[in-house]
Amino acid sequence: MLERLSNKRILLGVTGSIAAYKAGEVVRRLREQGAEVKVIMTHAATEFVTPMTFQALSGNPVYEHLLDTNAEAAMGHIELARWADAILVAPASADFLARLRLGRADDLLMAVCLASDVPLAVAPAMNNKMWSDPATEDNIRVLRSRGVLTFGPDSGEQACGDTGVGRMQAPELLISHLAELFETGALAGLHVLVTAGPTREALDPVRFFSNKSSGKMGFAIARAAIEAGARVTLISGPVSLETPDSVQRRDVVSAQEMYDAVMAKMEDVDIFIGTAAVADYRPDTILAQKIKKTDENLQITLIKNPDILSTVKQRYPACFCVGFAAETQNLEHYARNKLHDKAVDMIAANWVGADTKGGFDSDKNAIRLVWREGEQELPMMSKAKLARELVSHVAQRFYVRHKSALSGDNILHFNQKESTDST
């Protein structure tokens, strides 16, 4: 289980509590498991342990100040928020929990927690009376409802001499809970192919038709599928995003190139997720020279591009296919139509258009998932979080489908593809 932490980037927040000395052990054990660790200390934490201790244990500089002129564009909190795969605050004092609940950003750790969309876990440590105070209980309830994970606290003898609940959980337990956040194993052993980004359809040497897709949704899905234990191939149109760790990426430009790249990889794909905004049409000819501004009107003939999603499903019916639907009206109606017309297993429908908060190029999105027997609303959230939820639903439906296929006459096995293509 713990190899799940290998190469993971863990941001450890240390706040003002006597348990701060145990955070050194957390750093040591995380590194033992192959994780890279960066530590942020609050001012109060430095009263208990020196930054030098964590610098030596983590092998990285320790971060303390919100306004750091050495950080790129003086925005250290954003850099750190982007760097982390998960944030663990251990120990988390009563004061820290209260400030987190309020959404304050008055020190580096608070600002990073606000700016990040990766899993955030807290390991409370305080006197048992402080832990059971209604104010702390209320803070914890609100934080949990927002998705903050709480590890502990445990019960036992406390530094102040009292006995009760409030001790920080032991470092080995914290690490084992943290490991559970990665690689759920829901897609272990499966090959997932994701398409992402826009396509560009050339008109002449300098012009093309395209759309506003940034690739963020597809890249987040590729990352979430890796976390779920899958082998992931990502075929992307032109975007400026970094390849998620362990993902095998192939870049393409046009819809035809994306089609060719997908078909070349399909042989052992178990799950296909079409997030790319593929151009439906392309100019019938690409002119060799730049079009000149001579005529009052210009007519361009467009011809249809191949439909990647439909073709994948036709040729590989055993592959679990998820299509996206980008709609500006009647979301559910068009999603159901697409599910039927493209004969796929699931459609993830999202609103796009001028007044929409999610969709193209946004860091957030909301999805209505529809499949033949049901549907599920996934409300507005970060694309990273949404991708994890989507992957979890896809895994559930994948296994339901395979279970029923295996119990029926027409037995299909993982990785076994039945080609209906006669060409």
Binding site for ligand PMT (CB under 6 A): 195, 197, 213-218, 255, 274-278, 280, 305, 307-309, 323-326, 338, 350, 352, 359-361
- Specify the residue, 64 or 307, whose C-beta has the smaller distance to ligand PMT: 307
**Contact, 71 vs 79, CB < 8 A?**
yes
- Specify the residue, 42 or 305, whose C-beta has the smaller distance to ligand PMT: 305
Residues 6+ apart with CB under 8 A from 155: 163, 164, 165, 166, 167
| 319 in active site | no
- Specify the residue, 153 or 274, whose C-beta has the smaller distance to ligand PMT: 274
- DSSP tag of 358: S
Nearest distance from residue 225's CB to ligand PMT, in Å? 15
Nearest distance from residue 9's CB to ligand PMT, in Å? 22
- Specify the residue, 242 or 296, whose C-beta has the smaller distance to ligand PMT: 242
Nearest distance from residue 275's CB to ligand PMT, in Å? 5
**Contact, 285 vs 270, CB < 8 A?**
no
With DSSP H G I counted as helix, E B as strand and the rest as coil, what are the percentages for the chain, rounded to 5?
Answer: 35, 25, 40
Identity at 312, one-letter amino acid code: V
* 3-class DSSP state of 84: coil
Strands 346-351 and 320-327: parallel
SS (H, E, C) 208-268: EECCCCCCHHHHHHHHHHHHCCCEEEEEECCCCCCCCCCCEEEECCCHHHHHHHHHHHHHH
Q: 370 — alpha (psi -120 to 50), left (phi > 0) or beta?
A: beta
Nearest distance from residue 237's CB to ligand PMT, in Å? 9
Nearest distance from residue 129's CB to ligand PMT, in Å? 48
Distance CA 191, CA 205 (A): 37
**Contact, 125 vs 168, CB < 8 A?**
yes
Catalytic: which of 113, 160, 319, 321? Answer: 160
- Specify the residue, 96 or 259, whose C-beta has the smaller distance to ligand PMT: 259
Q: Catalytic positions, please? A: 160
